[in-house]
A and B are shown apart, each in its own frame.
Chain A
Amino acid sequence: MLEAKSFELFPEAASSIAGHVDAFYAFMVLVSAFFSLLIAFLVVYFAYKYRHRPGENIVYAPYDDHSLSGMLLEVVWTAIPLGLSMIMFVWGVSIYFTESRPPADSLEIYVTGKQWMWKIQHMEGAREINELHIPVNRNVKLTMTSEDVIHDFFVPAFRTKADVLPGRYTTEWFRATKVGSYHIFCAEYCGTKHSGMIGTVTVMSESDYNKWLGEGSGEGSMAEQGQALFNQLGCGNCHASVVNNQNGRCPNLVGLFGSTVELKNGQRVRADEAYIRESVLFPQSKIVAGFDDYMPTFKGLITEDGMLKLIEYIRSMRNKNGVISSATPLPVQTTDGPRPAGSTPAKAVPAAKAAPALPAAR
């Protein structure tokens, strides 16, 4: 919790992964302490036991460099550290794979880093700055990008962090296990007020969280905001967002997200966040098979926050036959709706807020 305690050796452990990281850390500390003390003891003991006494002649030990016992020692003190370090390697990798793979049922939240603040957008529409409210005991996945330099979203109490890169989307996930408030630090040096780029994660009980979400922003869900932006930028003039409508000059967006797209040059790419961002800002770089190089760049016309809203809108159309999901707090059910033929989800995309589906506005 955030109230200042003056003397502690461990940070609060408030996530599902924290206990695993702490246990591994304790193992590492024990191994290190053992070897440090062993070496220190040997060196001090030898320095005392074999000390040269004043007045004595120096006794030169005979050469035994390539003796069998010497070689045996070398083998032993190569093999033991090697064996131990392989345990560390495997243990470290196993924790890393848990840390780096968000569970499919995660609650999705978007984060934009900017010198020197954190901007958070909830799918349901709530927005916050330097604050992150999440429910306890629920997997949360952050999709993050930066408007300027590299930042890093670090929550010590959750024992996890990930770099936040300009021009890319990175993810970080955790499951908070204790209600409370915890530090968010920017861990990648980002300029003048780097140490001021801090915030607070507030972990709430599910009912408190629902209440908090209900207060909302009054601007509708992220997807709805994305849809408004979609209309404002005139995207719908060319891109159909109704299922089976192939009249547009540009690809139909229904069912696009998470599918594999065949390009004009024969390549196949997955339509993820980065693909959509690139297609909006640099439309010429990947032309979909069967379409022309028609779309102008929207570079400079859309912010990173706006881009996340657009992505969320397009994502909301991925399997809903042209309807978007609405802002409803905590519908936990995970349902993968029917996918358009040919779509191959490369990863389990958390399904969405399968709440009362609104018909698309167009």
Chain B
Amino acid sequence: MITATPPPKETKNYLNAEHGLKSWLLTQDHKRIALLYLIAVSAFFVVGGIMAVLIRLELATPAGDLMDSNTYNKVFTMHGVIMIFFFLIPSIPAILGNFLLPLMIGAKDLAFPRINLISWYVYMLGGCFGVFVLLSGGVDTGWTFYTPFSTTYSNGYVVMTAMAAFINGFSSILTGLNFIVTVHRMRAPGLTWFRLPLFVWAHYATSVIMILGTPVIAVTLFLLMLERGLHIGFFDPAYGGDPVLFQHLFWFYSHPAVYIMILPSMGVISEVISTFSSKKPFGYTFIAFSSVAIAVFGFLVWGHHLFVSSQSAYAGMVFSILSYIVAIPSAIKVFNWAATMYKGSVRLEAPMLYALGFIGLFTVGGLTGLFLSAMGLDVHLTDTYFVVAHFHYVMVGGAIMGYQAGIHFWWPKMFGRMYPRAWATVAAALTFVGFNLTFFPQFILGYMGMPRRYHVYPPEFQVFNVLSSAGASVLGLGYLIPAIYLLWSIKNGEIAGPNPWGATGLEWQTASPPPTENFEVTPVVTTEAYDYTALKLTQEVAHVG
């Protein structure tokens, strides 16, 4: 059993350096800003999660018996908007990236601490618009805002919702900008590019997508608002516009946005697999460059969302082949992670369990992406539950499993306390089982032809919908348990020590929680990344065994 230990009073850290609400709301410390993000992003996750519960409850029966069609449409729209723009995109970069990037490169803070704080306020302003929409009656366009439905026919608060995503985008741009400059300018002496942790490589690639892609969605949403509000014809043919143009512009950002969500997670997994195998990641250079390759090729595949949207067959062929090319770097990563464990010293701690879960689920998510890149098969599968299952395997099974792995991995660093590991093991197992039960049946539903965004459905689809809803309740438990024990551990957990997992990164060489200035002395890096042989820690690995 874990016994509560009184906090060590002598050490000053970022948590107790200052007190009072003002010291948090006006902080320029990247670690405190990360916690501000953690609170806000978690709140949105809860709201988006409630929407998911409502969806699964409604779909347990073929008839629309829990809510009417308008309400259902608003619920799945808000689920998508909140989970994508307010949870998945900021989760790992703005929380873990913010907290860890300076620590990992031996810096005192990000390059622009004030811009970092502003990014949180911009996020919150966008969030206010989102909450306003939620409270005032919602919107029913789907998170994709397809025109001309969104600009002419929808009865919801389309402009307000678009504004929420529009403003939120600036928060992403500011964060991306900050990360790029920080990685270029703030690395500790001796920390060359190829000594950087893979987490940093992943965040660098993510930041490039953020600053190149986000302006496009901002412009697109702005055009949408103009057409909706002022009837200036860009997309609605009734005003002389082109409805498919919107889809091109939307996916030009929103497909790369998928990589904004998954790349940081891949960075987490590289760290976790290496640490709990006590082995340098196999193919470090390949993993690092595969992140960059994903960021580059990710911009060239948007047309695979338009195979049935009257796009030319030859354009479709180009997008199809590029979609296969972009899958290769992901495959390389998965093989390298597995190879990292080979002849390692594998410890199945909670973060590792989440990471292994990630590998399994992301593999399925990635492979089913190949189905949808195949033009002839996509014609049958697109807009069905197969697509829903596929992107939940990538977004939830991939991005969120990676986020949970990261939270469990760095929690002791962030708060200096360890959570109860037995409960963490249970939660990881429940998440994995619940996830598969929820989303695997949806692949079958999709091939059988059940379209997505259906409020009522023919009775032959019910069996798999019931399985899916049952799985969702298990999955919900898998998210609820960590919320409880992690909060509990902040006050009551066992003191973790600076390096509880025997990891190699610079962040583990400072105290847990770290002092405000991160390091007492600026570290000087003299070894390669993940040099476990240089780490004198046989005794320090307190929790092994």
Asked whether any CB of chain A lies closer than 8 Å to the CB of B320, the reply is yes
Closest to B528 in A: A63
Decide if A50 touches B308 in the complex (CB within 8 Å): no
Contacts A89-B321, A170-B310: A6 and B331 contacting too (C-beta < 8 A)?
A: no
When chains A and B are docked, how far (Å) is the Cα of A231 from the Cα of B405?
Answer: 72
- Binding stretch for chain A, among B46-54, B250-258, B374-382, B484-492: B374-382
A31 to B371, CA, bound (A): 11
Instruction: For A88, give its contact among B283, B336, B373, B502 (CB under 8 Å).
Output: B373
How many angstroms between the C-alpha atoms of A193 and B360 in the bound complex?
A: 37
Identify the stretch in A73-81, A265-273, A330-338 within 8 Å (CB) of chain B at 4 or more residues: A73-81
B interface size (C-beta, 8 A):
98
| In the bound complex, CA of A136 to CA of B248 (Å) | 37
Binds B, one of A94-102, A213-221, A238-246: A94-102
Given contacts A28-B371, A51-B346, A154-B451, contact A195 B69 (CB under 8 A): yes
Name the A residues within 8 Å of B524 (CB-CB).
none
Interface string of A12-45 (1 = CB under 8 A from B): 0000000011001100100110011001101110
Asked if B426 is at the interface of the complex by the 8 Å CB criterion, the answer is no
The verdict on A9 contacting chain B, using a C-beta distance below 8 Å, is: yes
A36 engages B360 (CB within 8 Å): yes
* Minimum distance in angstroms from A169 CB to a CB of chain B: 9
Closest to A46 in B: B341
A154 with B346: CB separation less than 8 A? no
Bound complex: CA A51 to CA B335 (Å): 19
- A85 close to B (CB within 8 Å): yes
- Cβ of A36 and Cβ of B308 under 8 Å apart? no
How many angstroms between the C-alpha atoms of A57 and B347 in the bound complex?
Answer: 12
Q: Which residues of A sit under 8 angstroms from B154, Cβ to Cβ?
A: 191
Check: A262 CB closer than 8 A to any chain B CB.
Answer: no
Residues of chain B contacted by A190 (CB below 8 angstroms): 149
Please, which residue of chain A has its CB at the minimum distance from the CB of B68? Answer: A192
Task: Give A217 to B460 CA distance when docked, in angstroms.
Answer: 34
- Separation of A317 and B420 alpha carbons in the complex (Å): 80
Cα of A154 to Cα of B283 in the assembled complex, Å: 45
**A96-B278 contact given A11-B447, A47-B356, CB 8 Å threshold:** no
Indicate whether B140 reaches chain A with its CB closer than 8 angstroms. yes
The CA-CA distance from A171 to B129 in the complex, in Å, is: 40
With an 8 A cutoff between CB atoms, is A161 at the interface? yes
Q: Are A89 and B324 in contact (CB under 8 A)?
A: yes
Give every chain A residue within 8 A of B344 (Cβ-Cβ): 46, 50, 61
CB of B377 within 8 A of CB of A192, answer: no
Neighbouring B residues of A61 by C-beta, 8 Å: 279, 343-344
Q: Which of chain B's residues 530-545 have a Cβ closer than 8 Å to chain A?
A: 532-533, 538, 541, 544-545
User: Does A358 lie at the interface of the complex (its beta carbon under 8 Å from any beta carbon of B)?
Assistant: no
Interface hub of B73, B344, B533 (most chain A Cβ within 10 A):
B344
Complex contacts, B379 vs chain A, CB 8 Å: 95-96, 99-100, 159-162
Q: Mark A144-173, 1 if CB is under 8 A from B, else 0.
A: 000011101010110111110111101000
* Distance, CA A181 to CA B370, complexed state (A): 31
A-B contact count (CB 8 A): 286
B479 within 8 A of A: no
Is chain B's binding surface mostly helix, strand, loop or mixed?
Answer: helix
Q: Residue on A with the closest CB to B361?
A: A36
Cβ proximity bits B357-400 to A, threshold 8 Å, 1 near / 0 not? 00110011001101101111111101110000000000000000
The reply to whether A46 and B338 form a contact with Cβ atoms under 8 Å apart is yes
Interface string of B267-305 (1 = CB under 8 A from A): 000000000011110111110000000000000000000
Once A6-B460, A85-B370, A92-B378 are accepted as A-B contacts, the answer to whether A191 and B153 lie under 8 Å apart by CB is yes
| Contact status A88-B370, CB under 8 Å | yes
| Given A28-B377, A36-B360, A54-B545, CB of A81 within 8 Å of CB of B328 | yes
Judged by a CB distance under 8 angstroms, whether B463 is at the interface is yes
B374 touches A88 (CB 8 A): yes
Separation of A88 and B374 alpha carbons in the complex (Å) = 6
- Is the Cβ of A99 less than 8 Å from the Cβ of B376? yes
A58 to B449, alpha carbons, bound, how many Å?
Answer: 52
Assembled-state Cα–Cα distance A198/B62 (Å): 14
Contact indicator A92/B332 (Cβ below 8 Å): no
Taking each of A10, A32, A39, A196, which has the highest tally of chain B beta carbons within 10 Å of its own beta carbon? Answer: A39
In the bound assembly, the distance between CA atoms of A86 and B323 in angstroms comes to 11
Among A5, A43, A194, the residue within 8 A (CB) of B454 is A194
Assuming A11-B448, A25-B447, A189-B144, what are 15 further A-B pairs, CB within 8 angstroms?
Answer: A7-B463, A35-B367, A42-B338, A52-B346, A74-B283, A77-B331, A85-B328, A88-B374, A91-B376, A96-B307, A148-B153, A166-B238, A194-B454, A195-B456, A195-B457
9 closest pairs, A vs B, by CB?
Answer: A156-B449, A95-B376, A167-B237, A92-B374, A54-B545, A96-B375, A46-B341, A195-B454, A187-B383
